[in-house]
Structure 1
Amino acid sequence: MSLLRTLIFTSIFYLGSAIIVIVAVLLLPFGEKTAIRSGLVWARFHYWCARMFLGIRTRIEGNLATVPTLYACKHESMYETAEVLRLFIDPVVVFKRELLTIPGWGWVAKKHGVIPIDREAGAGAVRALLTAAKKVRAEGRNVVIFPEGTRVPHGESPPLKAGFAGLYKALGLPVIPIAMDSGRVWPRGGFVKRSGTVTFRFGEPIPPGLPRDEIEARVHAAINALND
């Protein structure tokens, strides 16, 4: 049954996503707000498909911020990459630069507002990250980063990537860590998804200006709060 539900979800979600992206590309001349709206439509469509065909729902524990914030999110599946667009207001997401090369989708993402990072470019990547961060700060938007850098199996807790501390310092924003357990129902590297509830646990805000060792330790502990 899980396999059948996954096949139905995959067929409908990716077909619908293709249509949304095509429409979003056609609307690019209308500016950033239209791209942001397209992203929200896609995220809501993703959640509807996940709920209807996979039986996956989202549960929120804790509170979202009321001021511009850096959200540091655990990353176990694709599920949360779509959910952050639905849950937050006009978020700017930090992700791999190579994703911007995807035809259509990458164009919309650029217009939406992203902070791309190239993990192979060394110091140049860090400078580009900080430049983009300053622009975002001036716009007063929320920022979402997956500080572990990539999806990890549920229960694992790798160290945070160096880019997180640099972004935290450049933005000068409070941090809210987010623990989650999406890997229980949407395992990394697995095709078949299972029904269940994904918990997003929002931790207490952490103030800006802390030393690197302290901020990394506090965020690392908080985002892994739902590990087995």
Structure 2
Amino acid sequence: MQWLRSLAFIVQMYLAMPVAAIIYLPWAVFSPAGAHAACHAYCRWVLWTLRWMVGLRVEVRGTPPTDEVMVAAKHQSFLDILVIYNAMPRGKFIMKRLIMFAPIIGQFALRIGCVPVDRGKRGAAIKKMLSDVKSGRQQGGQLIIYPQGTRVAPGVSARYKVGTGALYEQLGQPCVPVATNVGVFWPKRGITRKPGLAVVEFLPRIEPGLSVADFMARLEHDVESASDALLQETGLDRSLT
């Protein structure tokens, strides 16, 4: 039964995407504010239907930023993208360049100021990312990056990439770390969405001025420690995930 409920949720979630895009398209063409409004409306719809169709509630802890900061988040599934973006007024992501060509998602992502990057030689990719972020800073907002570069299942270790440290150094802005346990309930792959309470937690800021090495060590410690604590809240042991 939970599998069928999850399937119905997923189908309507993707059907709602073009509906929201069409409704907000005139405003989005006129102003990036319209694109943000469309994305926020879609996030709210998905989170609302997730609760009554699947039985999965979402809780945001901490203080989501509203000023110009870098947000460095744990990434476990599509759900944390929705929750993190919805919690802030003008979020924009560092995203894979391939997403640019995805129908609807790609066009609205570019309209809200997301920065596409190529996955390739690390040095060239970081240099291009820094250049693109610098050219788009006039849009303001909260720049969201996933330091591990991909979705990582709860309890699984993965390297934090130095590009996040390079951005921290270049931007000279505070960094807001974000922890989560959403992957327990909404996995990276598969249909079933589990009922329960998924949490996204905005952690205390890391102010500018640290060396890249010290920043990366602090970021990884804060995010991983808090994510492990959230994982324990679900009743699962890290060693068993």
Consecutive unaligned residues of structure 2, counting only runs of 5 or more, are 229-237
In structure 2, what residue type is equivalent to 1:7? Answer: L
Q: How many aligned residue pairs are there?
A: 228
Q: How far has the Cα of 1:124 moved from its partner? A: 3.6
Q: Which shifted more, 19-28 or 3-12?
A: 19-28
Aligned 8 A contact 1:21 1:105 in 2? no
Match of 1:184 in 2: 184
Supply the RMSD in Å over aligned alpha carbons: 1.8
Match of 1:128 in 2: 128
CA distance, structure 2, for counterparts of residue 43 and residue 155 of structure 1: 26
Match of 2:100 in 1: 100
In structure 1, what residue type is equivalent to 2:9? Answer: F
CA distance, structure 1, for counterparts of residue 74 and residue 166 of structure 2: 18
Provide TM-score, normalisation by structure 1.
0.92
* Percent identical residues: 29
CA distance, structure 1, for counterparts of residue 165 and residue 227 of structure 2: 22
SS at the partner of 2:150? coil
1:49-107 CA-to-partner distances (Å, cap 9, x unmatched) read 21121112222222223532111111111101111221011111111111111123211
Match of 1:171 in 2: 171
Consecutive unaligned residues of structure 1, counting only runs of 5 or more, are none
C-alpha change, 1:27 and 1:65, in structure 2 (3 Å) is closer
Q: How far has the Cα of 1:25 moved from its partner? A: 4.5
1:100-119 equivalences under 5 Å are: 100-119=100-119
Match of 2:139 in 1: 139
Match of 2:234 in 1: none
Q: How far has the Cα of 1:121 moved from its partner? A: 5.0
Match of 2:40 in 1: 40
1:1-228 equivalences under 5 Å are: 1-25=1-25, 27-120=27-120, 122-224=122-224, 225-227=226-228, 228=238
CA distance, structure 2, for counterparts of residue 61 and residue 86 of structure 1: 13
Q: How far has the Cα of 1:197 moved from its partner? A: 0.9
In structure 2, what residue type is equivalent to 1:6? Answer: S
1:146-180 CA-to-partner distances (Å, cap 9, x unmatched) read 11111111111311122211211121111111110
